[in-house]
Structure 1
Amino acid sequence: MGRWGIVALAALTVMGTACSPSAAETATSDEAAISTTRTPRITDDSGRPPVAFDPCYDIPDDVMNAAGYDAAKKELADYPMGTYTFLGCSYRKDDFVPGVRRGFNLSILSGNVSFDEELAKNGHIATETSINGRRALLEVDSSDRDACAYALETDFGIAIFSRLYNADHVGPAPQSEWCLGMKELVIEIEPFIAK
């Protein structure tokens, strides 16, 4: 897994220290509607385009709630790296199935690295696909157990949807289950991403 994948996994594990929940809790569907005029939370000096999609503000809470993720508990994260920037948002889905799974952690990252950079970095674990006609990568690394990610091309860079399957047993879930339902979730959210 490369740098951006590490950023996605770090987002899942350190959101409590790298976020501002009070700011995330104030995001509403009305704010999402005006997102195209909002100044990005973070910019960098790289000369790359500003990140025009902010997952915590541009995805309506009712969409995430309908998908089973508790939007009231979403958490913001910012990753200004100097030469690129990621804006992140994490969600939990607690759909406990005894002996099977405890739920999912979902991290959505929006960054100003190019799709081609992502393909060069993770092409060895990626399968090219499309989501609603948008160029995308399905990334599954067998050494990164219980994880599934989609990277979608945008005008400013990429949006990454990274989900961790929390098994309710010792050892990993079967690899065939890591991405179950993930494509459908990404298809549902994709229209909210700035083109």
Structure 2
Amino acid sequence: MSGWGRAALAAAVVAGVSACGPAPATEVDNSTTAAATSTTRAPRITDDSGRPDVTFDPCLDLPDDVMTEAGYDAAHKEFADMPMGWYTFLGCEYTKTDRVPGVRRGYGLNVLSGNVTLDEELDKNGHIATTTQINGRPALRELGPTGDDECTYALQTSFGLVFFNRLYNKDHTGPVPESEWCAGMEAFLVTVEPYITD
């Protein structure tokens, strides 16, 4: 199946780039992150769609210490932006290397902030989505949007959605139980949701 949400998430998961020509993922200079979190910062990327500007930038607005405490390698986060012309995704890639031999090698996390709506996401992925809330914020929980071993939460904002897409990197042959795909995600999101500005 095709669709903007799935295409953007698949591109971020696979390579941090999109067939539509966004810039390749690059490592973030963490020395400038603190200064870049000003609420008056202009969006790094805009589009000509007439949609709202994406005002939450995951690589700049999620505090490094919060992500590090959650086990993600904030020192090596990478931009994974997807300027599409008719909508925009600002992305950030993280890794979590909490290896359990024979179980998992860790997780890959892509955070995508985009100016698409919750209704649009429901139209595209409603067949795999469950409505929920994170700290009272309307959200969707999606299992396997681009394949097995994957969990996505889409949190509503005034400009659109922030997607948290996590890939379980298994350390064994055979399937990962579906019950493990989203294990611990909601607790993590409760911690980071307050940093989403909208």
**Amino acid of the residue matched to residue 66 of structure 1?**
E
d(CA) in 2 for partners of 1:15 and 1:79? 9
d(CA) in 2 for partners of 1:175 and 1:24? 36
Change (3 A) 1:24 1:126: farther
Q: Which residue pairs with 2:36 in the alignment? A: 31
Q: TM-score, normalised by structure 1?
A: 0.92
d(CA) in 2 for partners of 1:27 and 1:74? 13
Count of equivalent residues: 192
d(CA) in 2 for partners of 1:29 and 1:185? 22
Q: TM-score, normalised by structure 2?
A: 0.91
Match of 1:80 among 74, 78, 83: 83
Change (3 A) 1:134 1:166: same
Match of 1:93 among 91, 96, 105: 96
Q: Which structure is higher in helix share?
A: 1
1:151 aligns with 2:154: yes
d(CA) in 1 for partners of 2:145 and 2:72? 25
Q: Which residue pairs with 1:12 in the alignment? A: 13
Percent identity over the alignment is: 57
Do the aligned partners of 2:134 and 2:193 also contact (CA within 8 Å) in 1?
Answer: yes
Unaligned runs of 5+ in 1: none
Do the aligned partners of 1:75 and 1:91 also contact (CA within 8 Å) in 2?
Answer: yes
d(CA) in 2 for partners of 1:3 and 1:47? 17
Q: CA deviation at 1:139?
A: 0.4
Pairwise CA RMSD: 1.7
The runs of at least 4 aligned residues of structure 1 exceeding 2 Å deviation read 23-32
**Amino acid of the residue matched to residue 78 of structure 1?**
D
Unaligned runs of 5+ in 2: 18-22
